[in-house]
Amino acid sequence: MRAALWFIALFGIAVAAALFAGNNQAVVTVFWPPHRVDVSFNLAMLLLVGLFFLFHLASRALSALFSLPLEARRWRAQQKERAMYGALMDALAHLMAGRYIRSAKSAQNALAQEKSLGVTTDTTGHPTGHSDALARQLRSLSHLLVAESAQALQNKVLRDQHLQHALDNSDARHAQEVREGVLFRAARWALEDHDASAALDWLGQLPQGAARRTLALRMRLRAARYGRQTLPALETARMLAKHRAFSPVAAQSIVRGLALELLNEAHDPVQLKQAWALLDDNERAMPELAVQAASRLMRLQGDAALARSWLEPVWGAMLEPVAGQGLGDSLRAKLVSVLEAGMDSLDADWLARIEAAHVSQPRDVTLQYLAGMACLSRQLWGKARQLLSQAAPALQDRPMQRAAWRALAALAEQRGDEAAAIDAYKRAAQL
């Protein structure tokens, strides 16, 4: 269709030219004293059109002739640019292949090519501002590749030198993303060297948005754990769990471990209360944390009533059949030992709870032992002897079983049964 329209247009032009020039009797006279030249108007128009095309072609030829040096410089710059990017790609390939010396040499070759290339020019020969930003990015990446290779080769002097060059060429105005990448790599190298303070310093230079990324939070968590900064590590782990950087099980395990470290770092009851207050509601509801906090408080000669208040949610969970199985035998034994340590100050409410728990689960030897020790503390000798005699042979926890036999030996001595006391002491000694 387009070809048919072109033919119609050409035929129209030909018809118009024939109508205009066919009957045109005009004459153009050129006076060149003492000569006179008469030519037809049609010939004069053809000569003018020919002269126009002749001058146009001559100007194009002269422009191409004078632009040859610029084209030659542009071609040489293009070749250097290709060599520069090729060297950069070779450096990256060698780094991924583990050829760190070759990678460093290729990156340094790219830097040399970029230095000889200078700032590129546009079609008019003027330097472009955008090329300067690209040059800064390329220099930063090349220096970063050299520094990465030096880190792998444990050449820290060369690494620090090129790291500083990479930071100098990646200011926030030209290459913010590259600068953030350089800071991330520097923090990672510090973590590889187990230098927690340096890693935190590098991460502290990140912008606010980059500091909230998952990568930054993971590095901050590692650095805080290396530096034994438990509270910052716990706060970072909470943020990672909120961002779903870990699976729910892994996140709960990490947070629980850090919270346990925070509780174990307390050296007096006041510090332990402060550490407990820093935990959130979900963490306080974890049985491991509640039992550990109460046990730690009793070892620090703290308030037994406060320790029992921390154990109330765990006590309720232990009495539920499904939840109680999830506590584990060691955790149940530890909970009972905490209650046993504060047996002298046990109030009526807790005594009623222990009695109700034993009545609801009479075959639970752990609750049976706890009820027996509670009766012993209240000088209910007969009932304590009955409960402890049933629980002692079946207990799986050795310290608890040893305590039960010692209590039975003391009860036997009290009633004057030396044979039973000797037998109980012998069983306790064997454990």
- Residue 77 in domain: yes
- Residue 276 in domain: no
- Residue 40 in domain: yes
Tens digit of each residue's pLDDT (9 = 90 or more) over 202-234: 999 888 888 888 899 999 999 998 888 889 999
The DSSP result for 264-304, as a single string, is HT--SHHHHHHHHHHS-HHHHT-HHHHHHHHHHHHHTT--H
- Residue 330 in domain: no
- Residue 2 in domain: no
- Residue 418 in domain: yes
Residue 144's pLDDT band, with cuts at 50, 70 and 90, is very high
Residue 22's pLDDT band, with cuts at 50, 70 and 90, is low
Lowest mean pLDDT among 15-19, 25-29, 54-58, 66-70: 15-19
Q: What is the dihedral of CA 347, 350, 351, 355, to 10 degrees?
A: 170
Q: Which of 309, 365, 317 is nearest to 338 (CA)?
A: 309
Question: Total structural domains in the chain?
Answer: 3
Domain shared by 157 and 99, yes or no: yes
Residue 126's pLDDT band, with cuts at 50, 70 and 90, is very low
pLDDT surpassing 50 at residue 128 = no
Domain shared by 429 and 389, yes or no: yes
Is 30 in contact with 37 (CB distance < 8 Å)? yes
Residues in the chain: 431
Tens digit of each residue's pLDDT (9 = 90 or more) over 236-252: 999 998 888 888 889 88
Tens digit of each residue's pLDDT (9 = 90 or more) over 377-388: 877 888 888 888
Domain shared by 20 and 105, yes or no: no
Is 218 in contact with 191 (CB distance < 8 Å)? no
Tens digit of each residue's pLDDT (9 = 90 or more) over 301-352: 888 888 888 888 888 777 765 444 457 778 888 888 888 887 777 778 888 8
pTM comes to 0.71
Residues 352-359, mean pLDDT to the nearest whole number? 83
- Residue 113 in domain: yes
Three-state secondary structure call for residue 200? helix
Distance (Å, whole) CA 387 – CA 383: 6
Is 194 in contact with 175 (CB distance < 8 Å)? no
Domain shared by 161 and 99, yes or no: yes
Tell me the residue range of the domain where 400 lies: 361-431
Distance (Å, whole) CA 202 – CA 183: 6
What are the residue ranges of helices labelled H in 67-195? 68-96, 100-117, 129-152, 156-168, 176-192
CATH at 371: 1.25.40.10
Is 43 in contact with 37 (CB distance < 8 Å)? no
- Residue 18 in domain: yes
Tens digit of each residue's pLDDT (9 = 90 or more) over 270-280: 999 999 999 98
Three-state secondary structure call for residue 38? strand
Q: Which of 394, 392, 417, 416 is nearest to 405 (CA)?
A: 392
Domain shared by 30 and 77, yes or no: no
Domain shared by 43 and 85, yes or no: no
Domain shared by 115 and 158, yes or no: yes
Domain shared by 27 and 87, yes or no: no
Query: Over the chain, what is the mean pLDDT?
Result: 84
Domain shared by 147 and 88, yes or no: yes
Share of the chain above pLDDT 90, in %: 24
Domain shared by 165 and 82, yes or no: yes
pLDDT value of position 321: 54
Residues 361-372, mean pLDDT to the nearest whole number? 83
Domain shared by 46 and 90, yes or no: no
Domain shared by 93 and 155, yes or no: yes
